[in-house]
Amino acid sequence: MINKWTTIAGVVVLVALAGCVEDTGSASAPASTGGAGDLSDFVGARAGQAEGGLQARGYELIRSEGLTSYWFNRSTGSCAAITTADGRYSDIAMLPAEDC
C-alpha cells in the first residue's frame, strides 16, 4: 500500500528531475518536416548553424540584403527569403524563383 509520504517523495523526485532538462537551443540540424521547399522547421534555428542544413537540402546563398538572405535551390527552383533576428532565423518566406 502506498502511503502519502511515498507519493510526496515520488513527486519531489519528478520535480527535481524535470529541473535537470536543459534546452541548449541547438538547431544545427533541424528535423525535416517536408521536402526541399519546406523550410519552416528552420524558423528559430541559429543562423550560422542552420546554413549547413540549408545546403544539405540543396540551397545555396544567392545574396544578402540587410538582415534578409536569399537562398536558391537549383534542382527544385525554390527560392527562400530568410530574415535573421538576434542570430536566429525569425522568418522564412518562399518566393518565386525569379526573386532569387
Tens-place pLDDT, residues 42-98 = 999 999 889 999 999 999 999 999 999 999 999 999 999 999 999 999 999 999 999
Give the predicted TM-score (pTM) of the model. Answer: 0.64
| Number of separate domains in the chain | 1
Which among 94, 81, 91, 80 is positioned nearest to 43, based on CA atoms? 91
Residue 24 within any structural domain of the chain: no
Residue 42 within any structural domain of the chain: yes
Strand order in 68-73's β-sheet?
59-65, 68-73, 78-85, 88-95
The pLDDT score that the predictor gives to residue 29 is 41
Residue 47 within any structural domain of the chain: yes
Residue 66 within any structural domain of the chain: yes
Other C-beta atoms closer than 10 Å to the C-beta of 88 total 18
Burial of 17 (0-12, 13-18, 19+ CB in 10 A): exposed
Residue 7 within any structural domain of the chain: no
Residue 86 within any structural domain of the chain: yes
Domain span holding position 65: 35-95
Residue 52 within any structural domain of the chain: yes
Residue pLDDT, tens place only, 19-46: 333 334 444 444 444 455 689 999 999 9
